[in-house]
């Protein structure tokens, strides 16, 4: 297994762990995707859900670049906290 394949596997495992730990913030239904709250990475790091900061960075990078997420940002859907509560609107400069 190459290093790239190993990293992809770790990223995929991290996304699965995030969906299991925070189903409201990381839904499996593409239509339910909403922008994450700002500074959500720190809260995830504190939870210990993903064992490595690098792997968490890669997982969030991948999550936030999927078409459904970008559409949610562009449409100005409200941001979401890890527990599923509203985290406020998307700022116009982020749209």
Q: How far apart are CA 4 and CA 23, in angstroms?
A: 27
CATH number at residue 51: 1.10.1710.10
Number of domains in the chain: 1
Q: How many Å from the N-terminal Cα to the C-terminal Cα in the chain?
A: 39
Residues spanned by the domain of 28: 3-94
Alpha-carbon distance of 93 to 11, in angstroms, equals 29
pLDDT tens digit sequence for 44-60 = 999 999 989 999 999 99
Name the residue with tokens 């997420």.
Answer: 69
Give the pLDDT confidence of 67-94 residue by residue, as tens digits: 999 999 999 999 999 999 999 999 999 8
Q: Look up residue 94 and give its DSSP letter.
A: G
Tell me the CA distances in angstroms from 73 to 29, 45, 81, one per residue in order.
16, 23, 15
């Amino acid at each position: 297994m190459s290093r790239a394949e190993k990293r992809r596997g770790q990223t995929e495992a991290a996304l699965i762990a995030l969906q299991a730990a925070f189903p409201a913030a990381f839904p499996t239904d593409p239509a339910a995707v909403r922008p994450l709250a700002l500074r959500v990475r720190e809260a995830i790091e504190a939870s210990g859900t993903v064992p490595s900061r690098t792997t968490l960075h890669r997982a969030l990078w991948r999550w936030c670049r999927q078409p459904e997420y970008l559409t949610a940002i562009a449409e100005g859907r409200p941001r979401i906290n890890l527990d599923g509560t509203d985290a406020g609107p998307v700022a116009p400069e982020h749209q």
